[in-house]
Chain A
Amino acid sequence: MSSPAKKKNGVKGFFKKLYKYRVFLLMLAPAVIYTLVFAYYPMTGIVLAFKKYNYNGGIWGSPWNGLDNFKFFFKSGQAALVTKNTVIYNLIFIVVNTVMQIAVAVFLTEIRGKHYRKVTQSLMFLPYFISWVIVGVMAFNIFSSDYGFINRLIVSLGGEKIPFYTQPTWWPFILVFFNLWKNIGYGSVMYLAAIMGIDTSIYEAAAIDGANVFQRIFKVTIPSIMPTTIILLLLSVGGIFKGNFDMFYNLVGNNGLLYQKTDVIDTLAFRALISSNDFGMSAAIGLFQSVLCFITVIFVNWLVGKYDRDYTLF
């Protein structure tokens, strides 16, 4: 409606609007400036991925070196390893978390004891509030060779100690466990909300038809929360190339013995920057990840759109 009018007015119309919206624009200004400085300006820094960075030259003055940064990243075999680790971990996290969060939500709604429900739900939500630094301390309490709860238990039962911090074998389990541990309460709240939104008349109808509680769960509850589940699943698939740096760094740290099974794109990019001061390669890894993320999000958004237009993000 307004677009032909806008065209007619042209530049003059633009300034007129600028004046008309001056208060709105003033209110937006801080956030816009912030976003330009902290989000858009750094995007220009991706040119570093094609440069040999030196401090004096900075982003713009450093010499170009073509695809050298990428070559090293890919040829060393690190690209394949960290990408594989990132994707596989995220896939397992998504599946395990979703299944367990739904299970918790379903069971919590079935519990009649109000206090029991409240207490268990609060306890499950508690880990969400602490930092990964603290989770790192907790992991050490449980898995350390010398003082760890599990190893002491194994020894007291006459078994052989498992050197968790030098053997990568166990880490997929440990990481999946802590990731679930930290997010189970948070995630289940979303599914609880979805379950609360189910029309109770469907349950009444199911009861009249003689459905037992298990049938009710699998034939009514689970199908009813499927839309929420699919949307949440797709959204998490959008972040499949993003490693949770906080978690990996605090649980594994700079323990090179474990990298084979624990190194993800984000930890490698971090080490390239901080430990080896290789700005170019770190930027290359970052760009590689950003592009993969971008493509996945666009693809996922298209998928969501096919499923339900209302839930697309843009």
Chain B
Amino acid sequence: MAQRTATKIKKGKDVIALNIIAYTFTGLIALICLVPFIMIVTGSLSSEAAIIKNGFSLFIQDFSLEAYKTVFEQPMVVVRAYITTICLTIVGTALGLLLQTMTAYVLVRRDFEWRNFFSFFFYFTTLFSGGLVPYYILINNTLHLRDNYLALLLPLVFSVYNLLIMKSYIMGLPDSLIDAAKIDGCGEFRILFQIVMPLIKPALATVGLFIALAYWNDWYNAMLYIKTEAKYPLQYFLYQRVNDIEGYKKLIANGTVSSQVVSSVSLPTQTLKMALTIVVTGPIVLAYPLVQRYFVQGITIGAVKG
């Protein structure tokens, strides 16, 4: 009995030590993950003069909404970028899900003898690729998609990685389900849409969110293929604005443009950058608590399947 309490106390000590380490470590990392976000929020709510004087910090300095006012001076510019991104995300996610589910469904069907051939056909594209230049020429010169929304839509609509996640979900369904449906005389499309799809809702949510996130955060394809400012999606719009501001500063530094000219335009540059970032990131951070669960599920599936 005495020995038992002794081991209990001993156990208690190392548990406490571990708990202190665990809580501190995870807390610290969570904080480090959060700090850059806080700096953007506080920066966007500070006055330009205070930022120039003191630099960025964790606190709001001399509260001001000037930067947000500047962002929304021409609200249509931001709204247009928003509409572009939202439309792309919705259309792209819907199309991508349809494409990926339909393909995955066929590739897991055991009575389809050619499924291994086709699986390899898709898989091989992850092993070897033509690289940037042939793709660039394909979009620009062969398909003539320069400055076309399709150049933003098509590159992200299908991915073998998402196909694999989808496949592993559908593989989890019992074969007897599909067999029974076939005996009842269901066609393949009906089995897919009315029996399989309702059963893999979590997979649709997960893969759908992966696709949606890829569209929402895409700036790369816009940089390569979109030249008209009015067609910029949100992230590239932000990228351009941030770099414009930097460009201005360089011009001032080089003496090409007198600082008076610029200050007469009075761009609240640093805070404007922050406010723009908030406007662009806001929705995804707000939606984050709702969708996080599905991401975790998706990654877990990925981890199990390797």
Contacts and interface: CB of A to CB of B under 8 A. Distances in A.
Contacts of A38: 135, 138, 154-155, 158
Interface in B105-150: 105-107, 109, 112-114, 118, 120-123, 125, 127-138, 141
A112 B299 CA distance: 23
A37 B139 CA distance: 10
Contacts of A87: none
B300 to A, nearest CB: 4
Contacts of B55: 146-149, 151-152
A213 interface: yes
Contacts of B167: none
B72 interface: no
Contact of A193 (B216, B270, B300): B300
A130 interface: yes
Contact of A149 (B34, B56, B132, B220): B56
A290 B26 contact: no
Contact of B134 (A43, A113, A127): A43
Interface in A131-164: 131-138, 140-142, 146-149, 151-152
Interface residues of B, number: 102
A201 interface: no
A24 B277 contact: no
A111 B289 contact: no
A48 B134 contact: yes
Given A59-B137, A190-B299, A286 B130 contact: yes
Contact of A123 (B33, B155, B192, B295): B33
A112 to B, nearest CB: 8
Contacts of A119: 30
A293 B19 CA distance: 43
Contacts of A231: 306
A94 to B, nearest CB: 16
Contact of B33 (A185, A287, A293): A185
Contacts of A133: 217, 219, 235-236, 238-239, 242
B114, B131, B242, B302 pick with most chain A CB within 10 angstroms: B131
Given A104-B29, A293-B128, 20 more contacts: A27-B105, A31-B100, A31-B158, A42-B130, A46-B130, A111-B19, A121-B30, A127-B33, A133-B219, A133-B242, A134-B235, A140-B273, A142-B36, A148-B56, A152-B55, A181-B32, A193-B300, A210-B7, A253-B243, A286-B132
